[in-house]
A and B are shown apart, each in its own frame.
Chain A
Amino acid sequence: DQQVKQNSPSLSVQEGRISILNCDYTNSMFDYFLWYKKYPAEGPTFLISISSIKDKNEDGRFTVFLNKSAKHLSLHIVPSQPGDSAVYFCAAGSGGSNYKLTFGKGTLLTVNP
């Protein structure tokens, strides 16, 4: 039973354009959400997070949007750069749940020069 779903295994965009990565969740208890970026043979690195009391959080080129009613969040990267090419994982957790995170399967983003 997958509680965090990233339905697009891959995404390809042109340099300078916007990248939009999507994530859906099923557990209504989730109240904070994170995006991680991962290069091959390395550990994931934290990108940006959002709590359920907000619907948007922005950090430089990265913006995360949360739609609680739809149980959907998205990560926007603008403008996209070739160095953004990596696997992006969506993760979710609930404050009362022993600080565990549940991860999606990831989306491979390729930014073409």
Chain B
Amino acid sequence: DGGITQSPKYLFRKEGQNVTLSCEQNLNHDAMYWYRQDPGQGLRLIYYSQIVNDFQKGDIAEGYSVSREKKESFPLTVTSAQKNPTAFYLCASASLRTGGTPLHFGNGTRLTVT
């Protein structure tokens, strides 16, 4: 069964600690994305990658870092520089052969930083 797996579903961290969110896909999609959702807000793009070893900043990249060493994996690190890290994080992927849409989303990781 193809899909996108995000782990863990819930994550708790102390302020000042870096934390890495996992995202794996077995859809053979070229492009992968990280979005953030806050209450009453839409999905805002953090980073995206269209090819291995390459990625671009989205609209709210400050305080985050990513890597794309394998086609299947696109981990997101929330650093201590991110001022408001508590949020629901969504990973998505898409096939560039279909024009990059539609995006297929994972079930998200809810990060709480105290």
Q: Which A residues contact B (CB, under 8 angstroms)?
A: 4, 6, 9, 32, 34, 36, 41-46, 49, 89, 91, 93, 95, 98-106
Which residues of B lie under 8 Å from residue A99 when comparing CB positions?
A: 31, 48, 50, 94, 96, 99-101
Chain B nearest CB, measured from A103 CB (Å): 4
Q: How far is the CA of A49 from the CA of B9 in the complex (A)?
A: 29
Is there contact, CB below 8 Å, between B45 and A105? Answer: no
Which residues of A lie under 8 Å from residue B28 when comparing CB positions?
A: none
Which of B50, B58, B103, B108 is the most central at the interface, judged by chain A CB atoms within 10 Å of its CB? B103
Q: Which B residues contact A (CB, under 8 angstroms)?
A: 4, 6, 9, 31, 33, 35, 40-45, 48, 50, 56, 58, 90, 92, 94, 96, 99-108, 110
Picked from B4, B94, B101, B110, the residue with its CB within 8 Å of the CB of A41 is: B110
With known contacts A89-B43, A99-B96, A105-B40, A42–B108 Cβ distance under 8 A? yes
Q: How far is the CA of A41 from the CA of B106 in the complex (A)?
A: 11
The 9 A-B pairs of least Cβ separation, nearest first, read A99-B100, A43-B105, A46-B102, A103-B42, A103-B43, A105-B42, A43-B107, A44-B105, A43-B106
Is there contact, CB below 8 Å, between A98 and B45? Answer: no
Which of B40, B92, B101 is the most central at the interface, judged by chain A CB atoms within 10 Å of its CB? B101
Which residues of A lie under 8 Å from residue B9 when comparing CB positions?
A: 41
Can you name the residue of chain A whose Cβ is closest to the Cβ of B43? A103
With known contacts A32-B101, A34-B101, A95-B99, A100–B48 Cβ distance under 8 A? yes
Picked from A4, A49, A100, the residue with its CB within 8 Å of the CB of B102 is: A49
Q: How far is the CA of A34 from the CA of B90 in the complex (A)?
A: 17
Q: How far is the CA of A26 from the CA of B90 in the complex (A)?
A: 25
With known contacts A99-B94, A105-B40, A42–B107 Cβ distance under 8 A? yes
Is there contact, CB below 8 Å, between B103 and A101? Answer: yes
Q: How far is the CA of A46 from the CA of B48 in the complex (A)?
A: 19
Is there contact, CB below 8 Å, between B108 and A98? Answer: no
